[in-house]
A and B are shown apart, each in its own frame.
Chain A
Amino acid sequence: MQFGIFTVGDVTADPVTGVTPTEHERIKSMVAIARKAEEVGLDVFATGEHHNPPFVPSSPTTMLGYLAAQTDKLILSTSTTLITTNDPVKIAEDFAMLQHLADGRVDLMLGRGNTGPVYPWFGQDITKGIELAIENYHLLHRLWREDVVDWSGEFRTPLQGFTSTPRPLDGVPPFVWHGSIRSPQIAEQAAFYGDGFFANHIFWPTEHFVRLVEFYRQRFAHYGHGAPEQAIVGLGGQVFMRRNSQDAVAEFRPYFDNAPVYGHGPSLEEFTEQTPLTVGSPQEVIDKTLTFRENFGDYQRQLFLMDHAGLPLVTVLEQLDLLGEVVPVLRRELDARRPADVPDGPTHEALVATSLAAAGPELEVSAR
């Protein structure tokens, strides 16, 4: 089981102090947060990708490349990489380069993006979002697996005799998650390729995502990648902790009430009841997170959103210290409950081992 954090990378005024960080401060705070994640024993840091204010992470592989040099164990990922508006050729190149620099500590989550103007800014049409995701990923998938690609499609210029360099590390492409909050087509895409499906259920009721994840699991089995229980599932989460539950609620409430995404809407109490948000003691976070497994089955990756709504860096780092206490408990509980034939979270080493095992008999034959 892998645990980590994902960041949107928004520059938001602290509603308590009124202070808005500069872009430079926000970028450096993301670096500090990622380093802290490794320090407290988390497995994954994932950054969003945005191309409009008030967000800073327009260039994820630049940031993750820097983090690769600053960390030793952390898996560097995205949440999400825009498969609709980025050129799949550039995604193939950028992430393969990052994978080499990070010695394999890289995967990525693909998403369509929901900011309308980004599509025309990058020469695309939002009404073709699903079609772009399907065509672009199919090309990306081939670029990482075929040394020479001939290709033509609707959305980019054709390729003749194209080789994407560098080739993936050890011949194994970075693991891909497909993120979606609504579309069964994306769950279907993840299932078709045997890739991971990340259900970012932090803003929506569980019931909706239970059905989406179940659909993905059934289709994963349909396409012959294993049993439904063996499909690779990631989930979101959102927590704010203090030792004393009431302290957590009192401190977080002004951030909740003014948060860009859900502020001025439902009450903190309604939101915590209806979504995975947990505001309380570390034990409450443990209890709530364990219900995810009951709802979704054994899963491979849990990412928490920790740096948002204008929370100051010092508070986020304190939260990560507390998360560092919570995660070992969750890891022990969830690993103990996961059957032996259900895979653990994907790592480069595991994918290399699987690839060697698959190639094994053939190598023996050719040796004879």
Chain B
Amino acid sequence: MTPRTIAVVSTGISQPSSTRLLADRLAAATSAYRPDGTQIVTIELRELAHDIVNHLLTGFPSPALQRAIDQVVAADGLIAVTPLYNGSYNGLFKSFFDVLDPGAITGKPVLIAATGGTARHSLALEHAIRPLFSHLRAVAVPTAVFAATQDWGSADSSGDALTARIERAGAELAALIDQRQPAAAVDPYALATPFDELLRSRGA
């Protein structure tokens, strides 16, 4: 049996990045709840920043961006992590999801997460990032994980601490992946409807 795959889309801008740190911990937590083994593919959008803008302008992806898109589309689950800018996802994060074909991640289980300076912005996950994935018809798990700068220095004794939230979100994503059939590759060059049917539907 081929292992299930999770694509991790991380939009860390600085190097090293707390966004990537959070992304890695979410991936590890999810894997831990999947004893059959999970293949993790991590995509750093920073490395694709120019390609993403070029795709917006020209309408087609570079080979490197195409590989990243293919990995996201083919994955059984998605972990999407962005830093918060002005109370929402950052522009690069949004642009990546803007260049996906319509329906590309329909029905895909997604764990959404964000990093930010203070916990005051944490609800951006609920009012900005979750609606984005609702629009894309992906299935975001109930627990969204926000990591404020302060969280990286907190003890894990309380149930609300970062580690507990990461564990809970990872368990939810793992369970959702396990409930589903492996993601089937969609061939964009295959035609669902033969021409005589297309024609008949026109009454011609």
Within 8 Å by CB of A215, from B54, B59, B189, B201, lies B189
A125 at the interface (CB under 8 A from B): no
* Smallest beta-carbon distance A199→chain B, Å: 12
The reply to whether B190 and A184 contact each other, CB–CB distance below 8 Å, is yes
B62 at the interface (CB under 8 A from A): yes
A262-B58 CB under 8 A given contacts A134-B199, A205-B63, A274-B63: yes
A261-B58 CB under 8 A given contacts A185-B191, A188-B194, A212-B189: yes
A138-B57 CB under 8 A given contacts A184-B191, A211-B189: no
A266-B189 CB under 8 A given contacts A134-B199, A154-B203: no
Docked pose: A270 CA to B63 CA in angstroms = 11
The reply to whether A203 and B60 contact each other, CB–CB distance below 8 Å, is yes
Closest B residue to A189 by CB, please name it: B195
Within 8 Å by CB of A188, from B53, B66, B195, lies B195
Docked pose: A307 CA to B193 CA in angstroms = 38
Interface size class of A (residues with CB under 8 A): 20 to 34
The reply to whether B60 and A153 contact each other, CB–CB distance below 8 Å, is no
A208 neighbours in B (Cβ, 8 Å): 60
B204 at the interface (CB under 8 A from A): yes
Docked pose: A135 CA to B200 CA in angstroms = 10
Closest B residue to A138 by CB, please name it: B204
The reply to whether B59 and A134 contact each other, CB–CB distance below 8 Å, is no
Q: Which of A183-212 contact B (CB under 8 A)?
A: 184-185, 188-189, 191-192, 203-205, 208, 211-212
Closest A residue to B101 by CB, please name it: A182
The reply to whether B57 and A153 contact each other, CB–CB distance below 8 Å, is no
Docked pose: A88 CA to B29 CA in angstroms = 60
A262-B57 CB under 8 A given contacts A192-B195, A205-B63: yes
**Per-residue 0/1 for B20-60: is the Cβ within 8 Å of any A Cβ (1 yes, 0 no)?**
00000000000000000000000000000000011001111
A264 neighbours in B (Cβ, 8 Å): 57
The reply to whether A153 and B191 contact each other, CB–CB distance below 8 Å, is no
A224 at the interface (CB under 8 A from B): no
The reply to whether A184 and B57 contact each other, CB–CB distance below 8 Å, is no
Q: Which of A205-236 contact B (CB under 8 A)?
A: 205, 208, 211-212, 214-215, 219, 223
* Smallest beta-carbon distance B18→chain A, Å: 31
Q: List 11 A-B contacts (CB under 8 A).
A: A134-B202, A152-B203, A185-B193, A191-B195, A192-B199, A205-B60, A205-B63, A208-B60, A219-B195, A262-B57, A265-B57
Interface residues of A (CB under 8 A from B): 130-131, 134-135, 138-139, 152-154, 184-185, 188-189, 191-192, 203-205, 208, 211-212, 214-215, 219, 223, 261-262, 264-266, 270-271, 274
